[in-house]
Chains A and B, each alone.
Chain A
């Protein structure tokens, strides 16, 4: 296993977890106030991050070719389902790990739910032919 990939993954994972915690993304109240626009700090954080990413990726994309993400029905439907789950639990797949690291034990329920939901989607694909956004 290449040491470079391990070091980079450890460093950026640590930075992401550290930042998300200080931003307050691990706190349900903060996330709820973001979604109800009661506090615009997190909205501006996320929006600002996207804008800065756009500037950064304009440069990085000259060096590397990345996977395209075409718009599909599954991107929209999956997005809506994910948003409902985020509003209910206050977590996305990355944030739940930060919550656990912060000592919020109940986030274990959320993580269990996420793994269960991932498994359930695989089942839905096999049984009922529900498609995922761009694979293969």
Chain B
């Protein structure tokens, strides 16, 4: 799981945090859903 997290961290947090959806939402003072990805997608449970 570390490698996935590292991918998001390097391509959003480190590269350009201003386009991270989580950052943008919190900067606007809105509550951030736990499953919101930096791309703006809501992460869903994979159907079996």
- Tell me if chains A and B make direct contact, with any CB pair below 8 A: yes
Is there a chain B Cβ closer than 8 Å to A136's Cβ?
yes
Size category of the B interface is 10 to 19
What size tier do the contact residues of chain A reach?
10 to 19
Q: Which residues of chain B have C-beta atoms less than 8 A from A122's C-beta?
A: 29
A residues near B23, Cβ cutoff 8 Å: 135-136
Closest Cβ–Cβ distance, residue A34 to chain B (whole Å): 32
24 contacts between A and B (CB under 8 A): A121-B29, A122-B29, A123-B29, A124-B29, A125-B27, A125-B28, A125-B29, A126-B28, A126-B29, A126-B30, A129-B27, A131-B27, A132-B26, A132-B29, A135-B23, A135-B26, A135-B27, A135-B32, A136-B20, A136-B22, A136-B23, A136-B25, A136-B26, A136-B32
